[in-house]
Each structure stands twice: as structure tokens, then as C-alpha cells.
Amino acid sequence: MKTVLDLNQLNDNILKIKALLIELEASASSFPALSRNSKRALASVKMMELNLCDLVTLGLADHPLSSNP
Amino acid sequence: MLDQEYWNPVLETLPREKLKILQFKKFKQILTWAYTRSKFHKALYDKAGLTPDDIRSFDDIKKIPKVEKSMMREIQNKDPFPYGDALCVPLEEVSVFRQTSGTTGQPVYQPDTWQDWEWWSECWSFILWAQGYRPSDRVFLPFGYNIFVAFWAGHYAAEKLGCEVVPGGVLDTQSRILKIRELKATAMMATPTYVLNMADVAKNKMGIDPATLSINKITCAGEPGAGIPSTKRRMEEAWGAKVFDHSGATEIGAWSYECRKQPCGMHVNEAMFLVEIEDLETGEIIEEPGRKGKMVITALDRVAQPCIRFDSKDIIEWDSESCSCGRSFRLIRGGVLGRADDITKVKGVLISPAAIEEVVRSIDGLGDEFEVVVDKQGDVDRIKLKVELLPEITQLSVENRLKDQLRLKTNLGYQIEYYDYGSLPRYEAKAKRFKDLRKKDTAQKEVRP
């Protein structure tokens, strides 16, 4: 069974994670274990942005499995 | 998920008109990033009288000056040390140093941020997924883990995919083969030269037929071999495995890959890179398939030391066919066909080392190694081709076929020298089999076996 992808919802979730990590990195500047891991996680989030968010932002995202034409 | 063909089902099947919009937006972004953060790029574009705002359409991209490797060499060792002023981030943001191998001159230093390094392994994830790597794979990496980028990103990408990675760094060739056998590794990444060398060592020094080992797929990089049909066939037969081509470079990234359909070419990852093909003589951008030219490439998302319209010197051509895998990423026919530096005229005819390799490795009685030496006899160009005869094979049994095929495929005559098997130099990574002694480069000496 093929899964229908809700690309807008996926995009929203990625951006939420990004916002949380940015906040965590900033607020934990005196806590290297948290701030440096947040920064590293942000690099991974950037890869998700390249994979999806850039397309959604530009209105280019559609896919046969997508619920968002 | 595991039977999913694509690493990214949206990007890899994006209609081409949308792909072009994405590439243009990203090109503008990286151009603006470099212009506002790097003295090197700003000076380059100011000199051409251009700012990012002048790039208003896809056709404007070709106005942007190219970056030559020699330009990158000139800025090395200057401030900020050791990278020079193409650096677009503060030094403390740089998390990885790499350098080019220096095959064509002084090495170029390449800084990457952690985000860049994530990007490297992301590009490799497209490659490995397309070639059928899955979490059930045990991947053996027989390369020197050092300052050269080589298969480092392949290592991290395989981890990201969920594969089990076995780093075969400091082991010698025999130990590596034993480790592959012991662990029942299913996949491997190496240069074509080393893939053949390992098979040779296994067979002739250890009495192990590599085809009986458990390797079922091999990803090659660093040399054109996996795109040369006869070399690919030799590797596939020796290992009983599928061999896939991939191309990348330290200053660029991992920009192309062969998929499981093995379409006699590689897909350009056009979501991450913009590839242009430039006519070797006129500099005109080639859009149509079937015309060879020089690749000019932009890495659309690399930030520390951007790669914008880099003159790679790789010779490629667009394929007229699309791939049955369904990817909308364009194919380059036959992969990287050679380097502009290596394609030279002999007796007025263009000669490509890859064409000679294709012929030599299509002759069954010849060994994998060969060497081409171009020099002058008086005022006339001469090409010497050194080949090895496999044990119990006579010169008589191969020479007519070799001469005929060389004449047919390269339009040139050769002085052929035959050597015993094992006489010519062996290489562990990138091989240097083509020597043009007509050039003033004193580093190019003919080696006598």
C-alpha cells in the first residue's frame, strides 16, 4: 500500500524542529553539550530543508504520492 | 520504504521545468552568499562588471566568470590561513580540512563546515540508495582514511542509510580481502584500478576467487573506469558483482551517479548541482545531446568555500535518452569520458586515454594494466602502448586483434610493446597510465618495467 505524503505537513514539521533547535542553541549557550549538539542537529535539519522545504517554499512540490497537488 | 527506488521521491522525479526554476533560485542564493562574504568572489565578479542582481534569467548564468583551479591555488596559504579569501565563513565554523591529490599540480585546500559535511554525505546518500544500498548491507571501505576526501562521504552516507560500515583503512590488500571474506561484506567502494588490483591479488597471490566472496555491488569513483564498458565488464566478472560508476571531486562534491538500471551513463544530481557543458573550442554552452564538451559546475548548497561555475576540465556529453528508472535528472552518456588536460592531438588526431583503455581491456588475453607514452621520433609524434600478456598467452594470438581495434576505435597507429604479466606498475588508487613526453612537464618520465 502506498502512503500518501502530505508535503505541507512534512514541511511544517521540519520548520518547527528548526525553530526549536535555534531556540535551544541560543538559550543553552552556557551549556556546551546542548548548544553544540543543537548546532549539529541544525545541520541535519538543513538537509531536510534541501530535500523538501525549498521546494515547498517555491511552490514546486508535487508528487504522485502527494496529497498537495 | 526499503523497496522505494528513490532517496528523494519528490526531487528525483521533479519535472524538468521545475528543476530549472529550483536551480536558478539556488544559483542566485549561492552567488549572493559568495559575493557578500568572500573577497575573492566579489573581486572576480566586480572585475566582470557583474553583481548577483544582474543575473535575472537562467541564460544570464553563463555571464558569471568561471573559476579555474589555478585561481584557487593562488589564494592558498593567504589569510585566512590556510584557505585564502574564498572562505565565506569564520574560520571557527570550519570543521573539516581536505585537500586535492595534486595530480595536476599544487594541491587545493578545501574547508567544510559541519553543514557542508552533512551535505557531502547527503549527496552520497542519493548515490548509494540509487545503487541499491540498504540497511542490510555490510559495506567494506578499502581506502586510506586521510586528508583526501576519497570515500569518506561514502562512509558517512552508508551509515546514514543504516548500513553497517567496515573501515578497511590501514590494512594491506591481502588483509582487506581476508576481512571481506571473514565478515561476508556485501558491498565495497574503490577506484576501478584498485578493484582490479584487489581481484588480481586475491586470485594470483592468495588463490581466492573474488567472485566467490559475498560482494554483490561495488561503487567506483576517482577514475572513469566504471563507465568504460570493457573495464566495467572485467570488474563485474572478477567479483561477480554489479559495478556502479560515480563521479565527484574535492572542490565540487559528489555530483553524479549511475543507478541500478545501469543506463551506460550517470545521472547528474541536478537538485544539488548545476552542470553546464562548454564547447572546447568556442566556449558556447552545449544543450543538445551527443556533443562532447568541458564541464562547468556549480555546487548549489556548499557554503564554506563555494564552488561556482568551476571549470572542472571533465569531458562529458548529454545523453539523448532518459533512464528507465524514472529519474528526471539528466544522464551524461558514458559517464566522465576523460579530462581536457589528457585529451591531446597526436599526429593531428584527438586521442583519448579512455578510448585506449576500452580497447585494451576488451582483449581477453591482455592483463588489466597498460601504459601509453606519447613522444617524438624526430619531428613525428609516436605513441607507445605497453601491455601485459596473461600467462600462457602468446603475442601472436592477440596482436592483430589489438592493432585492428586500436585503428578502428582511435584512428591511430601504435608501437606496441608486450610485457610479461605483472611487469607494469600497479596502483592502489588513481593510476597514471598516460604520459605525454612532448610536454615540458619534467615530472612525466617514462617508467621502464
Of B8, B22, B118, nearest to A60 by CB-CB distance is B22
Q: Is residue B335 packed enough to be buried (19+ CB in 10 Å), middle (13-18) or exposed (0-12)?
A: buried
Contacts of B9 in chain A (CB under 8 A): 5, 63, 65
Contacts of B14 in chain A (CB under 8 A): 55, 60
| Peptide bond just before B82 cis, omega within 30 deg | yes
* B9 with A55: Cβ contact below 8 A: no
B104 touches chain A (CB under 8 A): no
State the ipTM, two decimals.
0.92
Q: Number of A:B CB contacts under 8 A?
A: 49
The C-alpha atoms of residue A31 and residue A22 are separated, in whole angstroms, by 14
B345 has which bridge partners?
B350
- Sketch the domain layout of chain B as residue ranges: 1-340, 344-436
CB B216 within 8 A of CB B243: no
The pairing of strands B187-190 and B138-141 is parallel
pLDDT in tens, B356-408: 999 999 999 999 999 999 998 887 889 999 999 999 999 999 999 999 999 88
The C-alpha atoms of residue B121 and residue B202 are separated, in whole angstroms, by 31
- C-alpha distances (whole Å) from B209 to each of A32, B204, B242, B363 are 52, 9, 16, 21
Residue of B nearest to A44 (CA): B118
CA distance B10 to chain A (A): 6
CB B16 within 8 A of CB B328: yes
* A51 with B114: Cβ contact below 8 A: no
pLDDT in tens, chain A (69 residues): 566 788 999 999 999 999 999 999 999 999 999 999 999 999 999 999 999 999 999 988 876 666 654
CATH superfamily to which B1-340 belongs: ANL, N-terminal domain (3.40.50.12780)
- Residue B119 sits at the vertex; the CA angle it makes with B117 and B124, to the nearest 5 degrees, is 100
Residues belonging to chain A with any Cβ–Cβ distance to chain B shorter than 8 Å: 5, 7, 39-40, 42-44, 46-47, 50-52, 54-55, 58, 60-63, 65-66
> How is domain B344-436 classified at the CATH fold level?
GMP Synthetase; Chain A, domain 3 (3.30.300)
pTM equals: 0.90
Q: Average pLDDT by consecutive 10-residue portion of chain B (449 residues)?
A: 87 95 97 98 97 96 95 89 96 95 81 98 98 98 92 97 96 96 98 94 96 98 88 96 96 97 95 96 94 96 98 95 95 90 77 87 94 87 93 93 90 92 84 80 48
* A60 with B272: Cβ contact below 8 A: no
The C-alpha atoms of residue B171 and residue B194 are separated, in whole angstroms, by 14
- Sketch the domain layout of chain A as residue ranges: 7-57
B25 touches chain A (CB under 8 A): yes
The C-alpha atoms of residue B428 and residue B150 are separated, in whole angstroms, by 12
